[in-house]
């Protein structure tokens, strides 16, 4: 009888351990971290198609008290943060872009220079497919080179891809509502080359990009 009781207790312990592990995994997946795969080249050369990222969903969570603000690693969105968010035009899709304009700021793009509140911003992460246009071309209607000025509403952000000439971002679909932000990209946990023809043949790991921190 004692042996049967022991077996029952052991099985129950295993079962409870598995249940706790599943609950913790679901908690982490839902509230703390999320995996995200780069689907397009809009963030080149910093993020490549085939990069798999870990996203911190906890950092922008609202704090219930001043103690939480002081102790927990939470903060507001900053310029330069790379965010994963719900695409405003299709909320079931996730996008990834860099934060350029914060609430209340005026954003303007002149040729290949971003101005915030009238002041030029240094952007070492920005890349362009084409050379700067001359002054007459810069006065055209290509919103990839000339945009704004626009003022970012409260509770919204102005987002842009690092690959400025090949990115569907706030220049095309407007401001990002804060409630659509899912989290900040942390680091690359896996990466592999994607063939130009889009086939699954020839995938090779990019070992040098593993555990690469995202800036």
Q: Which of 57, 97, 167, 170 is catalytic?
A: 97
Give the residues across from 172 on adjacent strands. none
Residue 97 annotated in active site: yes
Say if CB 146 and CB 42 are below 8 A apart: no
Residue 9 annotated in active site: no
Q: Which residues contact 75 (CB under 8 A, 6 or more apart)?
A: 59, 60
Q: Which of 8, 9, 37, 42 is catalytic?
A: 42
Q: 46: closest CA among 195, 164, 204?
A: 164
| 207: its two tokens | 């070992």
Q: Which residues contact 82 (CB under 8 A, 6 or more apart)?
A: 43, 47, 96, 97, 98, 99, 184, 185, 214, 215
Residue 113: helix, strand or coil by DSSP? strand
Where in the sequence numbering do the catalytic residues fall? Answer: 42, 97
């Amino acid at each position: 009888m004692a042996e049967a009781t022991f077996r029952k207790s052991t099985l129950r312990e295993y079962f409870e351990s598995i249940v706790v592990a599943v609950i913790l995994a679901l908690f982490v997946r839902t509230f703390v971290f999320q995996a995200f795969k780069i689907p397009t080249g809009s963030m080149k050369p910093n993020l490549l198609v085939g990069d798999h990222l870990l996203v911190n969903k906890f950092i922008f969570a609202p704090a219930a008290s001043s103690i939480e603000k002081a102790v927990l690693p939470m903060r507001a969105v900053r310029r330069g943060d790379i965010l994963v968010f719900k695409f405003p035009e299709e909320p079931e899709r996730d996008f990834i872009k860099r934060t350029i304009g914060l609430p209340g700021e005026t954003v303007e793009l002149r040729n290949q220079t971003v101005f915030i509140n009238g002041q030029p911003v240094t952007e070492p992460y920005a890349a362009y497919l084409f050379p700067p246009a001359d002054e007459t071309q810069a006065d055209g209607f290509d919103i990839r080179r000339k945009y704004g000025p626009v003022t970012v509403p409260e509770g919204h952000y102005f987002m842009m891809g690092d690959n400025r000439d090949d990115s569907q971002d706030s220049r095309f679909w407007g401001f990002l509502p804060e409630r659509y932000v899912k989290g900040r990209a942390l680091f690359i946990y896996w990466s592999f080359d994607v063939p130009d023809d889009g086939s699954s043949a020839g995938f090779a790991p990019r070992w040098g990009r593993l555990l690469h921190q995202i800036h």
